Amino acid sequence: RAASGSAAAQLRRRLESELEDIRGAGTWKSERVITSRQGPHLRLAGGGAGILNFCANNYLGLSSHPEVIRAAVEALEKFGAGLSSVRFICGTQSIHKDLEQKIAHFHQREDAILYASCFDANAGIFEALLTPEDAVLSDELNHASIIDGIRLCKANKYRYKHMDMQDLEAKLQDTQKHRLRLVATDGAFSMDGDIAPLREICQLAQKYDALVFIDECHATGFLGPNGRGTDELLGVMDKVTIINSTLGKALGGAAGGYTTGPKPLIDLLRQRSRPYLFSNSLPPAVVGCASKALDLLMESNAIAQSMAAKTQRFRSKMTAAGFTISGKDHPICPVMLGDARLAAVMAEDMLNRGIYVIGFSYPVVPKGKARIRVQISAVHSDEDIDRCVEAFTEVGRKHGALP
């Protein structure tokens, strides 16, 4: 007991010192507690009411859409709280199969497989698909879950410079000796709001006989004429082999992720993908939300168009006010400030004016490239957007970000 007591004390000291280091480095992440539904107007614990929210991935505003909520309640009542089982033992309901078919149909692919999250979909795919005979070529700014998924696989790993087609081509040349080459990229990058040059990536992949994988978490539901994603936007739906995406952002925002692509790949994932095999099935209410969100999107692209118009309004008004907004035509609108302290104090001052935005600095983004990331949603009104721009202008002048 004494020994385990001292180990516990040692652990506590080590953890406290590590936590102190995080605070000291200025990278401590605190969580604001929301006491309302997700939406453009929030209530925060501690009294903040009517806060304008510009930092959720609720691009289409479906997280609190009445029909999405009703679908979740109906699925909960009909199919219960959950399956208490993984899919292959006793955890597959008709709604899981229906949602997989709907996802495949939405993306115009052969089949789809559900996961508890896109993090899991990314954790599961590379190891199941690639062997030491193969190679994966990954954009250096890919999401952490792609990086972790690649770490878990035994393929040869190459990292190309962010969206740099010369570097990708050089790496494709270097990797000719490997059996199969997979280029892996985010469709849209969440810190910069920039969109992968998929047309060029697919051309290079074709030239060097490689496959293309995209993570569409910040694209599914709203990029492209019918919201199918980056591949639709850039006219390469038939050139991208594998898509991973989330149900936890534009598609209702509850939770869940998926892979969609060729049927034999999906069949293999059901046999080999560890996060699928060893984790509980998606809860029916969550399946109900995503399924309804997809129905709404397939009926009409009006919601996606409304979001695009609001994005345009914010980007052009902010640019006219003198700010630099990174990326192009994407609802992720990073207001580039450079200095980490400036980003932090401006974000705090925006909240004092009732606008909830978040500052990002090193190590989340490169040194000297601190920013406040604004995310636009279809459910923001024009007045909400204008209020946000006005507050930025006032706060920017006050802190010297604008003349």
Residues that bind ligand PLP (CB under 6 A): 117-119, 122, 143, 145, 186, 190, 215, 217-218, 246, 248, 257
Catalytic option among 178, 218, 292, 317 = 218
**Active-site residue 249, yes or no?**
yes
Backbone φ/ψ region at 286: left (φ over 0), alpha (ψ -120 to 50), beta: alpha
Q: How far apart are CA 277 and CA 357, in angstroms?
A: 38
Q: CB under 8 Å to 10, separation ≥6 — which residues?
A: none
57 vs 311, which CB is nearer to ligand PLP?
57
Q: Residue 184 forms beta bridges with which residues? A: 138, 213
Task: Give residue for tokens 């995209």.
Answer: 214
The string over 366-377, giving b where at least 16 C-beta atoms fall within 10 Å of a residue's C-beta and e elsewhere, is eeebbbbbbbbb
CB 65 within 8 A of CB 51: no
Q: How far apart are CA 263 and CA 265, in angstroms?
A: 5
Q: Is the torsion defined by CA of 13, 19, 23, 26 positive or negative?
A: positive
257 vs 284, which CB is nearer to ligand PLP?
257
Catalytic option among 107, 249, 310, 317 = 249
**Active-site residue 218, yes or no?**
yes
Which 8-state DSSP code applies to residue 132? T
DSSP string, 195-249: B--HHHHHHHHHHTT-EEEEE-TTTTTTSSTTS--HHHHTT-TTT--EEEEESSS
CB of 177 to ligand PLP, least distance (A): 30
CB of 364 to ligand PLP, least distance (A): 12
**Active-site residue 316, yes or no?**
no
Residue 338 burial (CB count, 10 A):
14
Nearest to 389 by CA among 403, 376, 399: 376
For residue 264, whether the previous peptide bond is cis, meaning omega lies within 30 degrees of 0, is no
Residue 5: exposed, middle, or buried by beta-carbon count in 10 A (0-12, 13-18, 19+)? exposed
Q: How far apart are CA 136 and CA 262, in angstroms?
A: 18
122 vs 175, which CB is nearer to ligand PLP?
122
Q: So which residues are the catalytic ones?
A: 190, 218, 249
